[in-house]
A and B are shown apart, each in its own frame.
Chain A
Amino acid sequence: MASIDIAAIHKSYGIHPVLHGIDLEIKDGEFVVLVGPSGCGKSTLLRMIAGLEAVTDGEIRIDGKRVNDLAPKDRDIAMVFQSYALYPHMSVAKNMSYSLRLRKTAKEKIASVVASAATKLGLDPLMERRPKALSGGQRQRVAMGRAIVREPKAFLFDEPLSNLDARLREQMRAEIKKLHQDLGATSIYVTHDQIEAMTLADRIVAMHGGIIQQVGSPLELYDNPANLFVAGFIGSPGMNFFEGRYLATGDTANFALTGGIVLPLGGTAKLADGSRATLGIRPEHVILGAEGPDTMMATVDLVEPTGFGIIVHLKLGPVAFKAFTLDRRFLGMHGEVAVKLPVPNLHFFNEEGRKV
């Protein structure tokens, strides 16, 4: 097990810059999840840590030792690929023992390590099969098994579950978490999946355009997003945004939406009077059927039951937004409904998109 330090990492492919100075310190035993939209450089960063991609500038240290120029085989890390990358001409047992055989480990040691990994992953009856005779979930397990037999310094995962169906993904997610609790290995995990990120991570690293946007615990990112990007990326259904102008009048303030509607805020925010800003609120914080002051009438556009709750698509004038509720009374709703945006749950973002 080891810590991983990433200092001022830059990466360019030819003249195209992909990563613009990444700084990240990963503690021994930590589970870090990289999230971000497609093409933001998550895989590139992971592959640089693995040694599969050259570092353009900056330094990567594993266990305090600079590894920039070490070959992948000398870094002592394991990686699980999105495609699993199982060796098709080897049996499951051979796939799992390949790394140990390359290291000339004693035969008895290999047999016992592979057997215990197989038991842990429920692969015992499949050991003599070739990968092509396995289901997607079983292949995934073999890929995991191949990584754990070696007890490497760190595990890297590049979207390991994205080829599985939803049910299996849920199951494997839990198994990965359990595995991490058992082994306590430093892990870096790349995913598109919100839930995977939230449930697995000790810390989430949100990336966009080759830059780290925010690093923090899952709930920190959820409750207190640093900017518009993180606010919109974390959470599903995503946060609602209203663009407009902040108008302060004494100790209460209003928010004038670009469509002409004025939202009463019932409190103030740290914004200059008259400045352009974006207001954000998570769908589950929108109160439907509200009474009392500061309520507004919104038009119901569409009602989506998810089983667990209900997503209501609403319109305030021309501005569309969503509400999420567990109250089944709203299932048959149409026409107009009174909504309230409670001030404690509002997020304000200034013109540059930073949270204030």
Chain B
Amino acid sequence: MTAKRIASVVAHRLAILAYVAFALFPLYWLLKVSVTPNKLLYSEGIKMWPSRTSFEHFEFVLKHSDFPVFFKNSLIVSGSTAIIVTVLASLAGYAMSRFDFRGKYWIVTLMLLTQMFPLVMLVAPIFKILSPLGLTNSLTGLVIVYTAFNVPFATFLMQSFFDGIPKDLEEAAMIDGATQFVAFRQIILPLTLPGIAATLGFVFTAAWSELLFSLMLISGNDAATFPVGLLSFVSKFSVDFGQMMAAGVMALIPACLFFLLIQRYLVQGLTAGAVKG
């Protein structure tokens, strides 16, 4: 039995290792290319690590390109989208989870329906709607579009977190003297922090890496987000891979920081001990 068990554990670990290597290899390559000096980029052939590393690409991107602007725009758009969506989705998800109201079924159906269309189909109509409002070529327009597209899924996500919190808790709070809203804010919301963190993270990364709408709605560099900015390293005759990869590595930083910040909540089971153990 033990030999068999050890074998199965080893096989399990190896499978995980293979998966992690497969998933992380592109990131590794990104890093590798970004630190490879231009001279070696095409001359060395395919090597796992360049014989000499340098930060020249990073320096160039930070000092001589519009990348800092893209970066700032992306931060503003993704951050606002994540916050707005999470607030809306928390309220809507709570209503979905706790209240019975007329038309609930139809609202859910409608929300599901919005998730079924390929985004490409919607680009032209959305452009048509936003342009007379002066919302093309503006960060506000992007935030509105991203919010609209992310709210349905985020609502379902938040609803499932609220569903996991026993109803007894807010009933107890209401008997203790709270209104339903106070019970929501003081009792339920603190227990949903893992869910809120997950939603924030999900929406933030979705907005951070969105290219299609950003590309279609924004022209010029002032309001471009960084995925669009990355494309500016592709010129007519060549692609500046080193600088592009350096920009890519820097673009990873906020996402990593963000997940570091929220991972405490993601793994925590805050509801433990609420009801009988």
**A88 and B271 form a contact (CB under 8 A):** yes
Total chain A interface residues with beta-carbon distance under 8 A: 31
Measured CA separation A151–B170 after assembly (Å)? 20
Q: Which of B36-85 contact A (CB under 8 A)?
A: none
Scan B234-277; emit 1 where CB is below 8 A from any A CB, else 0.
Answer: 00000000000000000000000000000000000011111111
* Nearest CB on B from A180, distance (A): 19
**A83 and B175 form a contact (CB under 8 A):** no
Measured CA separation A114–B166 after assembly (Å)? 26
* Nearest CB on A from B48, distance (A): 48
Is B171 interfacial (CB-CB < 8 Å)? yes
**B174 and A87 form a contact (CB under 8 A):** no
Q: Which of A72-107 contact B (CB under 8 A)?
A: 72-73, 77-79, 81, 83-89, 98-99, 102-103
Is A174 interfacial (CB-CB < 8 Å)? no
Total chain B interface residues with beta-carbon distance under 8 A: 24
**A52 and B171 form a contact (CB under 8 A):** yes
Q: Spot the interface stretch: A132-140, A230-238, A286-294.
A: A132-140
**A85 and B166 form a contact (CB under 8 A):** yes
Q: Assess A102 versus B276: contact at CB under 8 Å? Given A83-B168, A87-B169.
A: no
B166 (CB) vs chain A CBs: closest residue: A83
**B174 and A52 form a contact (CB under 8 A):** yes
Measured CA separation A50–B176 after assembly (Å)? 11
Q: Assess A85 versus B179: contact at CB under 8 Å? Given A73-B174, A79-B172.
A: no
**A86 and B171 form a contact (CB under 8 A):** no
**A89 and B168 form a contact (CB under 8 A):** no
* Nearest CB on A from B271, distance (A): 6
* Nearest CB on B from A47, distance (A): 8
Measured CA separation A88–B166 after assembly (Å)? 11
* Nearest CB on B from A186, distance (A): 15
* Nearest CB on A from B196, distance (A): 14
**A72 and B175 form a contact (CB under 8 A):** yes
**B182 and A102 form a contact (CB under 8 A):** yes
**B275 and A85 form a contact (CB under 8 A):** yes
A residues lining the B interface (CB < 8 Å): 50-52, 71-73, 77-79, 81, 83-89, 98-99, 102-103, 130-134, 136, 139, 146, 150, 163
